[in-house]
Structure 1
């Protein structure tokens, strides 16, 4: 990594005009640098200020006041980065933000790269790598569930479990390698039955963490919900209603939607990824046929499928369509949504109740056009998601990099167990133990490379 001895600066608030904006600096000499452009009403210098204090004053440019600001002073190591740091809270004018930043750069700072503040926090031991990654997840969180998962990881819940496992593996490896030092004396320091139990216990913990990724990934990226059905059944109208915006084109013309349209919605703290698809029908149109093929692919990828049926449609059409749909949704939650119930008589509705009831017990009657039944449909979506309750102490993996490292660690510990069962030489077993430790260490950053760190922090926003 490039030595972080210089002073970095960046605007940390989102681009655009707002009430206030924050410009951050970090690095030895940050306070003295800001003193060169800051003027306090009392004439006091920031370098003489106590740590963790806020000071009112003005940023000066060419002898004139650029803006009146509040300056927060942080001393090393008690700052986010672990370094001497400054945060300047100014008015949100783009001119003011850029003016202050340029003054700082002209005075000796350099522009921070994406994620460099958090990278410095990691390099200075303020957090491990998994906690640093959770900072980005926390910024990107868009639901109560994703916020809770990110906060838990940032507080070190995941890291604590990994450190515990690595410590156990280190003790494990020490005993095995001690035997290798006394190989000529044929001494056994580690009871093999105890080692087998230890390996099985570690495997169980790694397996549990890896398995939690299925839940964590769905919560983080959104529970995929495919909205399918025949053309002109009201799929796009339903999507627009749920999203509360005109996302998809609605028309009485059949085959209007020819490609996949996706967007997210949060219901009761859970994020759902709604996928509007092309209507399923027999067609000679090449473009529409491609859209229908994508419909089937999205159907297979979704966790929940909303099959929208025009309540006016004859039952024979729906039964025929079920032969195409049902084989592709096996193991998924399928909800039959009868739309346009505002224009059918009660007797017709009663007959629809029996349609495919044995194969699709979950059903609801709505009118997407007149907003009837859609609140109940949202309740059904939450129930269909079947997301288990998890608290602040639950460790849920949400990061693909972590998942892949856990899988490799799992394979290594499985080789350890197999080697102990077969009486494999201790040096091979020790190698597999070290490999398991390596992959767990990659997650927390105890084992890291410039390439891994560069890839992770490049995905952060500048200023964080």
Structure 2
């Protein structure tokens, strides 16, 4: 794939703002821009050094369009590896479009989504996993997802994969060499050393694969369903967690008839809270639909908060038993989901009643959503469900499903080679599986790619990046 024309796009969000940045990239980027830029000091743009900034005006047929700052980057020392010009103009949508249309009339082409980063990849400025990290960095909305994207964009993940691939490739070369001397029955690759390498690669791959469970929730946010009977304070709890009046709160049971979702960051991790309709028997058609959605959201959630009124346990024995039965059902139905049992409105109870609740239900969390009592402790408990040790230790975490699938395939091939070594399989059969493992490693970094794969990846980028 060779793209050698000159592209242009708005690199900042569309709409009005103080400043907008228009990016141009291509071999002729400077030549196309130079006649349109009049420096306040009469500079010839073509003769200026790379990585310099110039004040002047964009002019079309003697008409001044705007006063701008023009940044100049000469290839290959630029983001795309080509000549790049960035025009910082005033953020009027009219000015933005006038400058872009002027550049198009002079020979530029409107860039496709992700085309600047695609060119950076094709010109060897980034490998494919680093290019994908650019999109993740733009989309990051909490500290953890930002930290992971930065690590991958700097090459942390791809360097680890390249190192494994290089070591495996060295042994693969020796195995292939043996095939050329098959008649002499010689071994160039030390089988014991090769087996140790494969076991180490297997261990690293398993660790990376296991990290995807954490990485995926960090990247996309952890869905938490808040469930319980009507009017137990689910919407009040959601508002307390979000610190805003997001859900309607009233004394009328069944007020929440549809799920309400919002996201906050706790300790740098994104949590997506889902306030659900109260679970009860009802003849109301609309409320019934809401209750059905509640169970659908429980299935989708990774953490479930079961909320009930504290005074029910302390005063009503029959109701207390019903709640304990419901808790048991939830634990049996969703054994792998963390279940937080919360007694709400504890600010209305006496010390004696509070002690009774604590002894009645194991691992219960006491809270008053209305006053905020216990809300911070709840946030800490939610944070404890996420294994953030890898983040603190700056370990590589996989967040991309494409990388995850390639790692699974590479692990499968590595295990085939290990099995082949144990069974004393001939070198030509080992070589087939080794080549496949190398292929899947190459898929991650883009050493092996095709136009369809690149099209799918970069189509999800924003235009201008």
- TM-score, normalising length: structure 1: 0.94
Question: Structure 2 CA distance, aligned partners of 1:123 and 1:389?
Answer: 32
- SS of 1:241's partner is helix
Residue of structure 1 equivalent to 2:124 = 125
Higher alpha-carbon deviation: 98-107 or 340-349: 340-349
Mapped pair 1:349 → 2:354:
yes
2:233 and 2:307 in contact (8 A); partners too: yes
Residue of structure 2 equivalent to 1:141 = 140
Measured at CA, do residues 43 and 293 of structure 1 come closer, stay the same or move farther in structure 2, by a change above 3 Å? same
1:296 and 1:328 in contact (8 A); partners too: no
Measured at CA, do residues 455 and 294 of structure 1 come closer, stay the same or move farther in structure 2, by a change above 3 Å? same
CA drift of 1:172 comes to: 1.7
Measured at CA, do residues 166 and 173 of structure 1 come closer, stay the same or move farther in structure 2, by a change above 3 Å? same
Question: Structure 1 CA distance, aligned partners of 2:432 and 2:257?
Answer: 54
Question: Structure 2 CA distance, aligned partners of 1:386 and 1:196?
Answer: 31
Listed one character per residue, the Cα deviations across residues 37-60 of structure 1 (whole Å, up to 9, x for unaligned) are 111122222111111000000111
Question: Structure 1 CA distance, aligned partners of 2:261 and 2:45?
Answer: 51
Measured at CA, do residues 198 and 385 of structure 1 come closer, stay the same or move farther in structure 2, by a change above 3 Å? closer
Question: Structure 2 CA distance, aligned partners of 1:418 and 1:286?
Answer: 59
Q: Among residues 344, 364, 367, which one is paired with 1:365 in the alignment?
A: 367
Mapped pair 1:449 → 2:450:
yes
- SS of 1:9's partner is strand
CA drift of 1:374 comes to: 2.1
Higher alpha-carbon deviation: 41-50 or 389-398: 389-398
Residue of structure 2 equivalent to 1:87 = 86
Higher alpha-carbon deviation: 306-315 or 140-149: 306-315
Higher alpha-carbon deviation: 241-250 or 48-57: 241-250
1:26 and 1:81 in contact (8 A); partners too: yes
Measured at CA, do residues 288 and 387 of structure 1 come closer, stay the same or move farther in structure 2, by a change above 3 Å? farther
- SS of 1:212's partner is helix
Higher alpha-carbon deviation: 237-246 or 33-42: 237-246
Question: Structure 1 CA distance, aligned partners of 2:303 and 2:178?
Answer: 54
Listed one character per residue, the Cα deviations across residues 200-225 of structure 1 (whole Å, up to 9, x for unaligned) are 12111111111111111111111222
- SS of 1:254's partner is coil
Measured at CA, do residues 62 and 245 of structure 1 come closer, stay the same or move farther in structure 2, by a change above 3 Å? farther
Question: Structure 2 CA distance, aligned partners of 1:432 and 1:51?
Answer: 47
Listed one character per residue, the Cα deviations across residues 215-272 of structure 1 (whole Å, up to 9, x for unaligned) are 1111111122221111211112211332234433333333333443322110121111
2:214 and 2:386 in contact (8 A); partners too: no
Question: Structure 2 CA distance, aligned partners of 1:196 and 1:290?
Answer: 58
1:152 and 1:392 in contact (8 A); partners too: no
Matches within 5 A, 1:246-325: 246-285=245-284, 288-313=287-312, 314=316, 315-325=320-330
Residue of structure 2 equivalent to 1:423 = 424
CA drift of 1:460 comes to: 0.4
Question: Structure 2 CA distance, aligned partners of 1:95 and 1:240?
Answer: 41
Question: Structure 1 CA distance, aligned partners of 2:127 and 2:302?
Answer: 33
Mapped pair 1:223 → 2:228:
no
- SS of 1:420's partner is helix
- Compute the RMSD of aligned alpha carbons: 1.9
2:302 and 2:338 in contact (8 A); partners too: yes
Mapped pair 1:385 → 2:410:
no
- SS of 2:8's partner is strand
CA drift of 1:309 comes to: 1.0
1:304 and 1:385 in contact (8 A); partners too: no
Unaligned runs of 5+ in 1: none
Higher alpha-carbon deviation: 60-69 or 329-338: 329-338
Unaligned runs of 5+ in 2: none
CA drift of 1:36 comes to: 1.8
Higher alpha-carbon deviation: 230-239 or 308-317: 308-317
CA drift of 1:389 comes to: 4.8
CA drift of 1:345 comes to: 4.2
CA drift of 1:130 comes to: 0.2
Question: Structure 1 CA distance, aligned partners of 2:386 and 2:163?
Answer: 32
Question: Structure 2 CA distance, aligned partners of 1:129 and 1:391?
Answer: 26
- TM-score, normalising length: structure 2: 0.93
Mapped pair 1:32 → 2:37:
no
CA drift of 1:71 comes to: 0.2
1:299 and 1:328 in contact (8 A); partners too: no
Listed one character per residue, the Cα deviations across residues 60-119 of structure 1 (whole Å, up to 9, x for unaligned) are 134222111000000011110010000001111111111111111111101000000000
- Name the count of aligned residue pairs: 459
Higher alpha-carbon deviation: 257-266 or 229-238: 257-266
Question: Structure 1 CA distance, aligned partners of 2:94 and 2:463?
Answer: 18
2:358 and 2:364 in contact (8 A); partners too: no
Measured at CA, do residues 204 and 161 of structure 1 come closer, stay the same or move farther in structure 2, by a change above 3 Å? same
Question: Structure 1 CA distance, aligned partners of 2:36 and 2:330?
Answer: 68
